[in-house]
Chains A and B, each alone.
Chain A
Amino acid sequence: MAVPITLEFSGGAELLFANQKKHSIELPGSQKWDVKSLLPWIRDNLLQERPELFMQGDTVRPGILVLVNDADWELMGELEYEIQPNDKIVFISTLHGG
């Protein structure tokens, strides 16, 4: 069954997503989702332009911070984190000027 989650893009990352910061989505299928499988799904289904500015290899481009339920994804297992229903996952670009 589908997994409903919230995605947020900010710090300039939203520019790759038609300037829309908040996305409520449902991850389809009955399989388990982790961040590793979520990233290409985002790239293929939500991303509007320049995928190379979002992903590099199988992970996010260096300089994009990821938070899972407001905690640094480095504390949550990064790519291996298994996504739970109603999770909030935030991507913040630090590559933009300050």
Chain B
Amino acid sequence: MAKRCRVCNGAAQIKRPKTGDIMCKECFYYAFEEEIHHTVLAGKLFTAGETVAIGASGGKDSTVLAHVMTVLNERHNYGLNLILLSVDEGITGYRDDSLETVKINQQEYGLPLKIVSYQELYGWTMDSIVQQIGLKNNCTYCGVFRRQALDRGAMLLKVDKIVTGHNADDIAETVIMNVLRGDIARLRRCTAVTTGTDGALPRCKPFKYTYEKDIVMYAFHKNLTYFSTECIYSPNAYRGFARAYIKDLERIQPSAIIDIIHSGESLCVKKDVRMPVQTTCSRCGYISSNELCKACVMLEGLNKGRPRLGIGKTHKERRLFNEELARQAAEAAATNCNETTTTTTTTTTFTNSKVCCGGKGACGSMGGSGQAPEMCGSNLQSKSESDCVGSVSPSGGGGVAECANSLKKVRIGVPTAKPNLLEF
């Protein structure tokens, strides 16, 4: 065919998705690498002398990243010490195979390799987690654990930074996912080229503006060894739908990917929107928006046999648990009731409600910390009054049940009780 490279006029083989440029292989390699160099310079990603861990999964992105980082480190004298860092999630038939690919990469690029496993960090493999929770939300566990595992591995290696192979398509997917979930805090963070500069180990994405198509073409023409089996546990992952959607958009308008990233970058959040404050986990010291980080919450859920506490709509699981507690409290109150009074009026109900909360009932046992019972007690007083008075049934047994109901409502209404989640 007569298509010629726009740079050297040689025979063209590549069509760039972002620009529509037509190129030969050699000119494409150079342009591809230099664009990443530009991202590195523009984002001031590195300083000479730093040790940088490359998050390596054995997949196409991290394989190309390891290759390009090695090339650019030499060509432009970054002066970086590069290390490959892999996470072994413990997925038989998937990760064990891909880690073999990483080991081949290690030899090809002559870089040191460190592997950290979920088993050693958390005492659970993904195989055992899936056994417990099934194929729904398992990717949430994996994602949260992996992010932290990479950081821990990096800290063991005493590196200054982590680079990951997240490409433009991945970031566009994440923007869309965060919009769909209404996750404003992540929406604001997810397009940053470097994250975690506030205390945690900084992470950079040199492929932020690099299209997946270019990465795949680069790997294909350079004959890079990479691993490409679908994770056996991922078919239900939410990301898959966002991914297919992005690919559909790309076919219609290839610039859509970069446009979505641009939209994400340009979004600004109103000052009066309440954002979670970043703090550190009181248990493991990892960066977190809550008193306990997500990984600790999830791990606790797993270890206590209530794995759903750590995922998605936790309030549902919490509600069930609260109902259970309320039922117990109601039973206790009912016993109390029989001992002290025989009336079944509104007043009695209200008194009972005071007993079940103000005493050592549900709230006391639920709230491990000192403040929770107070919070709950005061809230209950005002709220249960209206609830119980308004809705009490004249029949005898109904009063206690109603009261338990109001107790439940109050518990849900107290957000500060969240950390206490883990006390059972």
Beta-carbon contacts under 8 Å, B232-257 to A: 234, 243-244, 247-248, 250-251
> Chain A, 26-45, contact with B by CB distance < 8 Å: what is the 0/1 string?
00000000000000000000
CA distance A10 to B225 in the complex (A): 12
Please state if B250 and A62 are interface contacts (CB–CB under 8 Å).
yes
Beta-carbon contacts under 8 Å, B197-253 to A: 212-213, 215-217, 220-221, 228-231, 234, 243-244, 247-248, 250-251
Identify which of A11, A12, A94 gathers the most chain B CB atoms within 10 Å of its CB: A94
A63 touches which one: B15, B60, B217, B244 (CB < 8 A)? B244
The reply on B59 being an interface residue by CB < 8 A is: yes
Please state if B3 and A75 are interface contacts (CB–CB under 8 Å).
yes
Please state if B228 and A11 are interface contacts (CB–CB under 8 Å).
yes
Identify which of B15, B221, B228, B251 gathers the most chain A CB atoms within 10 Å of its CB: B228
A65 touches which one: B1, B217, B230 (CB < 8 A)? B217
CB closest chain-B residue, reference A10: B228
Please state if B220 and A67 are interface contacts (CB–CB under 8 Å).
yes
Please state if A62 and B229 are interface contacts (CB–CB under 8 Å).
no
A94 touching B230 in the complex, CB below 8 Å, given contacts A75-B3, A75-B13, A75-B15: no
The reply on A76 being an interface residue by CB < 8 A is: yes
CA distance A84 to B229 in the complex (A): 31
The reply on B22 being an interface residue by CB < 8 A is: yes
CB closest chain-A residue, reference B239: A97
The interface residues of chain A, by DSSP majority, are classed as loop
The reply on B57 being an interface residue by CB < 8 A is: yes
Chain B residues whose C-beta falls within 8 Å of the C-beta of A97 in the assembled complex = 57, 59, 230-231, 234
A72 touching B216 in the complex, CB below 8 Å, given contacts A10-B228, A12-B229, A96-B229: no
Distance (whole angstroms) from the CB of B391 to the closest CB of chain A? 52
Chain A residues whose C-beta falls within 8 Å of the C-beta of B60 in the assembled complex = 11, 94, 98
Please state if B13 and A71 are interface contacts (CB–CB under 8 Å).
yes
The reply on B12 being an interface residue by CB < 8 A is: yes
CB closest chain-B residue, reference A59: B251
Please state if A74 and B15 are interface contacts (CB–CB under 8 Å).
yes
Q: Which 4 A-B pairs have the closest CB atoms?
A: A98-B61, A98-B59, A63-B247, A62-B247
Q: Can you name 9 extra interface pairs (CB under 8 A) apart from A92-B216, A95-B244, A97-B230?
A: A12-B229, A62-B247, A63-B244, A65-B213, A94-B60, A96-B230, A97-B234, A98-B165, A98-B212
Can you give 23 A-B contacts (C-beta < 8 A)?
A: A10-B220, A11-B228, A15-B229, A15-B230, A62-B251, A67-B220, A70-B13, A75-B1, A75-B12, A75-B13, A75-B22, A94-B213, A94-B216, A95-B247, A96-B59, A96-B228, A96-B229, A97-B230, A97-B234, A98-B61, A98-B165, A98-B167, A98-B212
